[in-house]
Structure 1
Amino acid sequence: MSKKMLETNIRGMGKAAATKALLQERALALFVRQGFDETTVAQITEAAGVSQMTFYRHFPTKDAVVFDDPYDPVIAEIVAAQEPGLPALERVRLGLLAAWGAVPEPGDNATKEKIGLIAGHPRLAAGIWENNRRTEDLIVEALTGTGTGRFEARVAAGACLGGLTAALLDWASEPDGQELGERMCAALAVMGASDRALRGDR
């Protein structure tokens, strides 16, 4: 899958996608400025210039604004497209690496602010792991659909996603000048080196 195809699949086109993106943008700005718990759906919709009915058409809850992730189905497709003869962990790792390499680097602080918001809020911090589980389920389904055993698929997906989440939270809490994409690729490289060491590869 090319970078252009990935970006098109992720972002989508049309008014609905634009409205959803606007709601997320306005919501994040409010969350960062006045706090997640202090921000209401009414304030978000007022800032976005839409009705509350429109909000709930896109997001079932306020939490969903933070965790909605259009990348998941595409990531699962890219993982499934990796060489079936490779170990499951390597297929997941290479699939995630390809996905991160195809997504443009965020041009502002929005992503870091979002991750910082999650890390600093107990319920949201717990929610990121639940969100990971949904991503994990999609990856497991993609792997088992191409012949990988369920147990191996589950362990591989959980290991890679857990490592990326740890790297992501560390990136948000300890700024070191590294771009997000670089941090994710570095984390996946660590997992690749560990896997090769366990298998005795050179």
Structure 2
Amino acid sequence: MQSAKISARYGLLLSIIALICTALSAGVYFLTKDKIDSAVAKQQIALLSQVIPPQYYDNDLLSSCRAPNSAALQAVRIGKICTAKKGNQITAYAYETVAPDGYSGNIRLLVGMTPQKEILGVRVIEHKETPGLGDKIETRVSDWILSFTQQKITSDNLQDWAVKKDGGKFDQFSGATITPRAVVNQVKRSALILAENLAQLEAENHQ
């Protein structure tokens, strides 16, 4: 009987402690949520500004981001699309896409492109490529990713959109061709489909 009473007391004590911990955790969350959200937003804006220069827009670029409705865009792994406007005119798009055929799996990319099919910039958001080889797609390791800047993609220059080993104009890495090939091919695929769907994107932005 005494043992049961002790167990009940311990159970009640543990319940009270758990309740207090939950309340404290909730309190900390609500106190820090705005600061965390603000920090995340600043990081996202900083990343977006690397693929769409600030002089291209005067709208709230972050709040313009949305998931695409087009099945064609989804089919080439285009995710969130952000629309840059200046004077209420669309000047560029920034979109997330995924190269599925990296050496070590998916490579998440952020691409900036104008309606005139000029690539403003490309950055790697996430990857699992081999350090010292495939990680040269990162700006902290190499400036290779900057080779996309101000490159246009048209029906007349598609052969250029490949690594040099495949007959294109983009450098590959010594001992690591698969990674740059995956990035170049995905930028090419996604940019072409986005360009084909510009009219629909513009219409959606005016709804």
TM-score, normalised relative to structure 1: 0.29
Structure (1/2) with the larger helix percentage: 1
Structure (1/2) with the larger strand percentage: 2
Q: Based on CA coordinates, which of the two structures has the bigger radius of gyration?
A: 2
Q: Which has the higher contact order (CA 8 A, sep 6+)?
A: 1
